[in-house]
Amino acid sequence: MRKREAGAGGALIAVVLAFIALLIVAFVSLNRTSSGSAEREQTTAKLAIAATALESFASAAFRLPCPANPNPADPLADGVEMRKLPDGLTCLFPEGTIPWNTIGMRREDSFDAWGRRISYRVFTGDPGAGFGGSVTQDGGASMANCDIYEASVGNTSPVMADGSGGLCLPFPNNADPSARTTRVGTFLALKRLKVTDFNVPYNDVAYVLISHGITGLGGYTASGRLDLPPNGDELDNTRATGPFVNRAFSDPDTGATAAANAHFDDLILYRRIEDLAKRANLAARNWPDTILSAVVFDRATVKGALGGTNPGSDTGRSTIAFNNATVSAFDSSGRWNRRGQRRRRPPVQRGSREFAARFSRGRPPVRLYARQV
């Protein structure tokens, strides 16, 4: 009887011990997950601080800084951009870290929550592949001279073999608004720093900020660089030009040396060039276009354009072609043109004629009318 009781007591103790072990494992796992989440939140906040500082710098300097030496021997060089002068096109440490000193950050904000420096990559041109317009050159981050609605096919400044050029015209700058002929798409087409964000690719990225996560592989501490990741997206995120990847974190139990690109714990923040320009108040404008010709809207001119027919009150046309211009109808809300962009109706002036259009849904094309005002 006692042996049976002793056996039952031992089994009960074993069950209790197993239950306690499960509680310990669950607690450790939950604590690890909670701790990792808090550290990621802290790191995300520091990436945002660095992005704001970079954009403030761009607003004042019209360019982005080069990365800093990630492991400087001289403490005075810590956090200082390493830019080759006089042209500033070459960054001496393209796989470097955020230049916290140059852009006015606190040093402690240049480290992630795991004590490693935030990596920083920036577009400096790739003339060998036909892409130029480094954003670290003077004026390289500014789109202020680009024109949002440009009629002519304007180009950028010539792209040189060293990566310079590719800027909005005019360059050098001048005060003539009509000289600003570079379209936004033309400017952006020359830029090629690629980020794939949850399977969505972006090719026109200005800069990338990277925390190399809990493992830190490929990142820098205050005393030097850690081992590089063995393969995959994390390895690409250590390179000067990527291509950079942002995707879901791998399971905490997935080892950092796992094959087939299984491990991922990097945190990334990036800005596309047009977004950077807007945030830095350097966005493209709707600059005035050069007036190539003018048409006087009077009865004689319209009569001539209609082949000698007196226009009366109804021209019978939706479009009138003059010698050097074509006038097309618009609806009462001013919404019609070839691009489908909203246009305001021109103001009516005393002593002139207003050419407008009447619009009805589902009816034949609108026609131009003339009336004396």
Residue 365 lies in a domain: yes
Cis bond leading into 311, ω under 30°? no
CB 250 within 8 A of CB 263: yes
> What is the Cα–Cα distance from 193 to 141, expressed in whole angstroms?
14
Residue 219 lies in a domain: yes
Whether residue 321 sits in one domain with residue 366:
yes
Residue 285 lies in a domain: no
Q: Which of residues 279, 304, 319 is at a domain's end?
A: 279
Please choose, from the candidates 83, 70, 341, 324, the residue with its C-alpha nearest in 3D space to the C-alpha of residue 210: 70
Whether residue 187 sits in one domain with residue 263:
yes
Whether residue 165 sits in one domain with residue 36:
yes
Whether residue 246 sits in one domain with residue 367:
no
Residue 250 lies in a domain: yes
Give residue 88's domain range.
Answer: 32-279
Residue 264 lies in a domain: yes
Instruction: At 186, list the tokens.
Output: 């033309």
Residue 148 lies in a domain: yes
Q: How many residues does the chain have?
A: 373
DSSP 268: E
> What is the Cα–Cα distance from 51 to 98, expressed in whole angstroms?
10
Whether residue 187 sits in one domain with residue 43:
yes
Instruction: At 85, list the tokens.
Output: 């002068």
The whole-number pLDDT of residue 15 equals 64
Count the domains in the chain.
Answer: 2
CB 49 within 8 A of CB 103: no
Please choose, from the candidates 90, 102, 82, the residue with its C-alpha nearest in 3D space to the C-alpha of residue 137: 90
Whether residue 235 sits in one domain with residue 318:
no
Residue 4 lies in a domain: no
Residue 149, classed as helix, strand or coil, is coil
Residue 24 lies in a domain: no
Whether residue 339 sits in one domain with residue 229:
no
Whether residue 132 sits in one domain with residue 78:
yes
The whole-number pLDDT of residue 17 equals 63
192, amino acid identity: R
Q: What is the dihedral of CA 244, 241, 279, 180, to 10 degrees?
A: -130
- Taking the alpha carbons at both ends of the chain, their separation in whole angstroms is 118
The residue assigned the tokens 């002929």 is 181
Whether residue 304 sits in one domain with residue 245:
no
Please choose, from the candidates 202, 209, 170, 172, the residue with its C-alpha nearest in 3D space to the C-alpha of residue 188: 202
Q: Which of residues 279, 310, 330 is at a domain's end?
A: 279
CB 102 within 8 A of CB 79: yes
pTM for the model stands at 0.71
Residues with Cβ within 8 Å of 131's Cβ and at least 6 positions away in sequence, in order, are 125, 159, 166, 190, 191, 192
Whether residue 239 sits in one domain with residue 153:
yes
Residue 304, classed as helix, strand or coil, is helix
Which pLDDT tens digits describe the chain residue by residue (373 residues)?
Answer: 544 555 556 666 766 666 665 655 544 444 444 447 899 999 999 999 999 999 999 999 999 999 999 999 899 999 999 998 776 678 999 999 999 999 999 999 999 999 999 999 999 987 666 677 899 999 999 999 999 987 677 788 888 877 788 899 887 788 887 788 899 999 998 888 999 999 999 999 999 999 999 999 999 998 888 888 888 999 999 999 999 999 999 988 888 776 778 899 999 999 999 999 999 999 999 888 766 666 676 778 777 877 777 766 677 777 888 766 677 766 555 454 444 444 444 443 333 333 333 333 333 444 444 443 3
Whether residue 271 sits in one domain with residue 153:
yes
The b-or-e profile of 110-131 (16+ CB within 10 A means b, else e) is: bbbbbebbbbbbbbbbbbeeeb
> What is the Cα–Cα distance from 51 to 64, expressed in whole angstroms?
11
Alpha helices in the chain (DSSP H): 2-61, 100-103, 184-188, 232-236, 273-279, 299-305
DSSP 198: T
Q: Which of residues 251, 279, 307 is at a domain's end?
A: 279
Half-sphere exposure of 211 (CA within 13 A, CB side): 26
258 to 97, 216, 265, 302, 329: CA distances (angstroms)? 26, 15, 13, 77, 65
> What is the Cα–Cα distance from 68 to 78, expressed in whole angstroms?
7
Please choose, from the candidates 215, 225, 217, 229, the residue with its C-alpha nearest in 3D space to the C-alpha of residue 259: 229
Whether residue 193 sits in one domain with residue 144:
yes
